[in-house]
Amino acid sequence: MKFFSKETAVSLFLIVTLGWLIPNISLAHFGVLLPSDDIVEANESSQITLLCQFMHPFEQGFMELQKPESFAMFTRGKNKDLLNSLKTRSVSGCTTWIGTADLERPGDHIFYFVPQPYWEPAEDCYIKHFTKVVVNVFGLEEGWDQPVGLKTEIIPLTRPYGLWTGNVFVGQVLLNGKPAPNSEVEIEFYNKDKKIEAPSGPYVTQVVHTDPMGIFSYSMPKEGWWGFAALNEADWKMKHEGREVAVELGAVLWVYVADMK
């Protein structure tokens, strides 16, 4: 019995063969934490809002973000729990969160959230991004380089606010409180409204590696928010459908750069 014509057989062969030749494109994941302002002056409102998201920043592809395990503000060596301030906001059919914080004293405020693990079938692993942003409050520039004490985090070695386009940002990746050498750091622009179109895939996510002391650097070429996600595999596994799978730990930091005008 003849099931396929010669032409059909050739077509099927080409589909299968070319399918193997197409690269497996995996978009970078980022925890996102964006404040309504990264520099709050004394004459401005003392309350800010913060967006908590999980997404592909350049492509503006959103993913479901369950309520974070923690959402807090770190300043003057102390943490303030902000978890109860979170409210849900649906974006592109996915759950995101918006929180608020009252700013009472001058100094740098480090905001962060720790998400619940996200299962990514395309990578066959769980993803957990410890996400931070620094807000300068009322002109006192102290505290921006302090560790919060997260499982993994990026410590700024360049002040992470008041940056001009083209400035070089330098950071140090910590894992379990120690420098994380040879960590891959993915970098993306928060491409709001998708105004920027990448000429090809590699332009979407920039990639650098840390040196033996966990240090990396990058110069931001455009005004806006930039995210740095330093990736390492956890030294523990999680169960998914009865089997143990890897956990990707991401140390994420967001910085804003402005054009000189």
Q: How many CB atoms lie within 10 A of CB 106?
A: 17
pLDDT tens digits, one per residue of 46-77: 999 999 999 999 999 999 999 999 999 999 99
**Nearest-CA neighbor of 171 among 186, 193, 151?**
186
The dihedral built from the CA positions of residue 33, 137, 256 and 247, taken in this order, carries a sign that is: negative
Which domains can be identified in the chain, with CATH numbers? 25-258 (2.60.40.10)
Query: What is the predicted pLDDT for the residue at 36?
Result: 98
Distance of alpha carbon 229 from alpha carbon 183, whole angstroms: 10
pLDDT classification of 26: cutoffs 50, 70, 90 = low
Contact 128, 250 (CB under 8 A): yes
pLDDT tens digits, one per residue of 72-96: 999 999 999 999 999 999 999 999 9
Q: Determine the 3-state secondary structure of 220 from DSSP.
A: coil
Whole-prediction pTM value? 0.89
Contact 188, 55 (CB under 8 A): no
Q: Determine the 3-state secondary structure of 244 from DSSP.
A: strand
